[in-house]
Amino acid sequence: MKLITICLSLIFPALLGSDILHQSEPMYDVTKLDAPITIDANWDKPVWQNIPALTIKNFMGDKPQHFPFVQSKIAYDDQAIYVIFRVEDQYVKSVAKKNQDGVFKDSCVEFFFSPDDNSQDGYFNLEMNCSGKMLFHHQMKPRTDSKHISPEDIAQIEVAHSLPDMVDPEITEPTTWTVEYRIPFEILKKYHHYESPKTGTIWKANLYKCADDTSHPHWLTWSPVDFPRPNFHIPEFFGTLRFD
């Protein structure tokens, strides 16, 4: 039996690989809200308590010595999508001074998403440090055909964060922090043609945690990414968001 299994794996590698990839791709159900959420970075407020969390528990590169415990929840209404992160962290730092700075160098959480079921048609990357500064682009081709979200559009995104506007020097003791934001669908439609989500809509997405220029860098992912070095801009490894 063992010999037969080995032979099958040699004869049908594409089929087996497809099955493995399918099993490894996570799915998250995005809850429909009855009313808008107050954006205040409060993970424990009642509206979030009955919404399941996803966990960012995979990593790229070598397994980091410091491995934060990172959770996120996502919800939506007819006008916007809502995202909150909670990070049990250490060695926390944020020095980015303004939006569209390199926030990925700081203690940072990231939401990459394509507002349809095919990430090859373009995707957004919203990267936010622990102080609420964001880098927000739309990518047609990873890193080579991208467009900055305008300052006027970013100003319409409600953001809240639990830590100060800058964290420097680095906080070396264990620290839990949260960020929360609301993205109006009308902003996204300026950069990507799509229909607002409804029950059964599928988006492709991945969520990340990084801290490139801290004393303990790491690159964590929700959906596993099969690549030899840290690189979040690989949309073929996005997982699935299914809207309730």
Is 2 a member of any domain?
no
| 116 vs 193: CA distance, rounded Å | 9
Is 121 a member of any domain?
yes
Give CA angle at 219 (20, 86), nearest 5°: 100
Is 9 a member of any domain?
no
Is 1 a member of any domain?
no
* CA dihedral sign of residues 16, 21, 24, 25: negative
With a CB cutoff of 8 Å and minimum separation 6, the contacts of 242 are 27, 28, 29, 30, 200, 201, 202
| 151 vs 134: CA distance, rounded Å | 11
Question: How many domains, the chain?
Answer: 1
In DSSP terms, which residues pair with 111 in a beta bridge?
126, 207
Residue 21 in tokens: 């990839």
Domain that holds residue 104: 27-243
Q: According to DSSP H, which parts of 12-81 are helical?
A: 13-24, 46-49
Residue 198 in tokens: 């409804």
Assign residue 111 the CATH number of its domain.
Answer: 2.60.40.1190
Is 217 a member of any domain?
yes
Residues 204-223 as b or e (16 or more Cβ within 10 Å = b): bbbbbbbbeebebbbbbbbb
User: What is the residue-level pLDDT of the chain in tens, covering all 244 positions?
Assistant: 333 333 333 333 333 333 333 347 899 999 999 999 999 999 999 999 999 999 999 999 999 999 999 999 999 999 999 999 999 999 999 999 999 999 999 999 999 999 988 777 799 999 999 999 999 999 998 878 899 999 999 999 999 999 999 999 999 999 999 999 999 999 999 999 999 999 999 999 999 999 999 999 999 999 999 999 999 999 999 999 999 9
Is 22 a member of any domain?
no
Is 210 a member of any domain?
yes
Is 202 a member of any domain?
yes
